[in-house]
Chains A and B, each alone.
Chain A
Amino acid sequence: MTSHHIANEIHHVVREKKPFSLVDDLLMSRWFLYSMSVILFLGIWYYVVYIDVFGRGLCYPHEVITEIIRLTSRKLAGKELWEHAWDSSRRVFIGFGIACVLGIPLGFFMGISKYFNAVFNPIFNLIKPMPPISWVSLSILWLGIGEEPKIFIIAIGAFVPLVLNAYNGIRLIDEELYDVVRMAGGSHMKEIWEVSFPAAVPAIFAGLQIALSGAWSCVLAAELVSSRSGLGFVIVQGMNTGKAAMVIAGMLLIALIAYVCSFCISYLERKICPWRRDLSTH
């Protein structure tokens, strides 16, 4: 978390002029505050369980860890924990891949061609406001309860932000960039390849991030409604057997995998478009 703001630098200088005080220093030290925050969070968690607010609905934090360790050594519905995690991830990857293959080109062409846009934008606007989770029921009706309905929902959920961001990425390109290519005598194809495509990449990456978190929500919803494998299934099992530790373990694992995926995408973004350095806010 480095900030490039001049304002913050001045902040430091002003602070250094204060007389030395240990408490002040500690309160200003980021890592001290972070560790305090974690300790406070865990402390409240322990206290809430100790005074028994939620009964069996919550367990001690260390029980979650032991539960994860226990789950790794035990089979659940014939599959190990890692296989469940892989099942969920595979669904996300396939659905997400399909959405990328269909959505990014669609948004791209909608951005560069008025006619293409006139044909597809109205239909896209019909689908856009429907929350992807509302497709769960219809997809189960159509495709049963196997792999396909889950992949379908993920693809739909990831599709909308991908199209939207690719489209807006092209639309919001600075007109002057086109003028440069035209001045240099570039053809229409050159305009598209040299300007439209690279200039839209950051927006497309933003779309990928949104689509990915949407995809994880969707896979979870689909697995909670009906499935026999995946981390959503682990959570449902924990719920049905009344084990809060198992539910929280499932939640943590999903969060971890989702976090790793989104980290990979932002790493890729930094590799592919290194000119985009600002906005390191999250």
Chain B
Amino acid sequence: MTLKIDRQAYYWPALFGFAILFFANFVANPIFVSHDNWRPVLLGAAPFIITTWAQTVPIMSGNGDLDLSVGPLAGLVNAIAAVTLPSLGLTDPFSMITIALGIGVASGLLNGFLVTIVRVQPIIATLGTFLTYQGLTLEVLPTAGGSAPPWMRVISGESFGVPGIVWVFVIIAVLWWLLGKTAYRRNLLAVGGDIRAAYTAGVNVTAVRIVAFVIAGVLASVTGLVFTATLGSADPTVGAPYILTSIAGVALGGVAFSGGRGGLLGAAAGGALLFLIENLFSLAQVSIYYIQIAYGSILLAALALNSITDRIRRRKAAAALV
């Protein structure tokens, strides 16, 4: 379960694509890599990357699991953090972070419960929560407004020459790495790989899938806090676009939609890729509508690539069984 250099690893195409687009951005605008530009670039990329991470975990648990509510949940947390909590006088970091993450856990439990216990199709169950969160967000905050407490500059600002958002990435990566040291990652890959094999071997498949949704919820909430810090306020429309990009990012990241293969490295590259494309489009001053077309096409291309590599892998596995 350790990180080894493996040429066959799922994340290489994503890293390769990332490298190419990074270079393209640099060519289009050499300032892109300048030190002053790091902070805004990373803050812009953060919602892409963190929502993709959130999406990755349920998708890795297979069985059609995915979470359409990650974007809207991030938007809801953004509204609550910038409007509701300040109105209640809760602006200290501890309360805000605890409440935000608590909302994420609750949302994950709800989605997981609907999917594994009530057995609603994941795409329908999370479509339901997605619409609910959208409605709640507009209830809390009909138009853009609210304000971020000053401590959030830790995230949006810079300390010791390092953008604060980097620490958010590092904390998530370290926690994921630690999770990989526990039994959870193996259980997750097993449930995603073949739920019957996992179940008969004695894995608590329901718990594994619910926890996957909880991780998605928590990461979506983190995105909500990042929105708050970046915008300095809240915007009810900020979350929804990240539903599509989180799924596209997962596909670009080489994570198998059938489950059982993937990780945060590929997903990060996949999410970052989408940001780089958007950035490239805005540098070229292309209309925002074309970005939608590009995302849609990229999603389809990534899914096609995903299924082709899946087929090649399966053929190789079959050849080994001769």
Partners in one complex: no
Interface residues of A (CB under 8 A from B): none
Interface residues of B (CB under 8 A from A): none
